[in-house]
Structure 1
Amino acid sequence: MVARTTWTGPIPAIAHLHWPEKLAAALGPERALALMGELRQEGTRIVQTLHNLAPHEPRPDLARFRAAIDVMTDGVHFFSAEHERVAREHRPALPIPALHLPHPRYSTPEPAISIGCFGRLRPYKRTAEFAAAILAGDDELRLLVAGHPDDVEADRRLRAIAEGDTRLDYRPGFLPVAEFRHLLATVEWVALPYGQLHSSGVLVEALQADRRVLSVAPVGGTALYGTYDHDRWLTVPVWNEQAAIRAWRSTVSQSRIALPTWSDAAGTLVDFYSAVIATPPRRS
């Protein structure tokens, strides 16, 4: 008979085992099992998070401990439905109540997506229209427009937008090549929102600098400039601000890690734990 562990302090509603083998390795398997048994007798529910299916400490005594804990467990946290399916093949004693939730990402905000529009402002380039359309959304982005304003109306509109929206960095004027290349290196995307795209020095520089490009399909096709994946050079057959921006947003969302935020995860976890607590303890 293993001696009681003489738990002190409030009895927790939930004992969450992130890696059960770690507890057994720290206390010894028998004492760790006795501790969890005491808490369970006092009404504590046991929840596990499953990580790798292979044990971190592949010792026979820890394998027996893990199997015993599985029988005592009231709820289990998997990262996906596929993760659960594979895990249950190896751990059939795990309980039915389950949560699917990847690790939430840290609350540090992701850096703003940066887009650059370069070159002389001319009516067919639709730079002001693109700036107004993309900044109408609530994206976390930074838009840089740099080039000589041949189009007086575009210049007026861009100045007005920049005065009211700090996301737009408008730099009218001719750019020396070195400064242009420096600014090009500061953005992730180069947008060429032109009604028609013929030969373009900005396009060639952007591709050579390995920037991602959003544009209308160029006359003669993208193959004139080499071979590029869709996520590297995103084209639309006919330029339309709204259609191009929808395609761009879809591409950006797919390219970023799809993890929940801590605030989103917190609500899901509270709902799961509340359901586990409300359910009668599992019979061993």
Structure 2
Amino acid sequence: MSNEKPESIGVVVTTYNSPDWLHKVLVGYECQTDTDFKVLIADDGSDQSTAAVVEQFKKAGKLNIQHFWHEDKGFRKTIILNKVIAETDCDYLIFTDGDCIPRNDFIAVHRAEAGKGRFLSGGYVKLSMPVSERISDDDIQEQLIFSKNWLVRHGQPSSFKLSKLIRHKVWVAVLNSITPTKATWNGMNSSGWRQDLLSINGFDERMQYGGLDREMGERLLNKGIESKQIRYSAICLHLDHPRGYSKPEIWEFNNALRQKVKAENISWTDYGIVKSNDS
């Protein structure tokens, strides 16, 4: 296992018609201690209100932002993600969502933990809607929202899950090593080498909401790419939102596809970046 570090990092931020949440997330990226990265907005057909937020942050000049967009034809997250993978010049990609505010060491941790032949599986804390709505730019800039006491004081239910906010290095290492959660590819907080993603043909574009990220991670594992747990090291806060795009029949299709990938040790999809009928 090589500890070779990335030369160029891109943060792939998926979004769809959630400009207020995207604003908070981009403020979080303005606060990073490691500033050498690009923000790659993977926009699944949002209207002009999202474009306006992106332009606002471009003009502020703190972030290097590229906005990838396609027409709204329903849930096509995998397609816009594959477009980003295919067109970016970054050699290492961190994948997250436009409702996940990163802690200020988010980029630094992913860079430090990156290594050839592996992908990283980070952690997140799901916030309640009242807390999600309460968060201001100042709260993000001052990193108050990554304090357990601050969150609980503002209405977040207290639970063991808030232990992910611990920053003591020894405890973080212990918790990463003993967590029973597998190091899977999670769309909210995972990273890997662009070349590894190309080697499995990216995301399977037949998949809609429900396990699409896990499926790609399972193909990476089948390819021989290892996974590393950084659940307590790389942290983001997940803002609450409704999930109207979750449908039982789609879950059924996705689960069947994932079972086939596991049973047959499949690493390549014919429905990814390169289509089977491409020359």
TM-score w.r.t. length of structure 2: 0.31
Q: Quick check: which has more Rg, 1 or 2?
A: 1
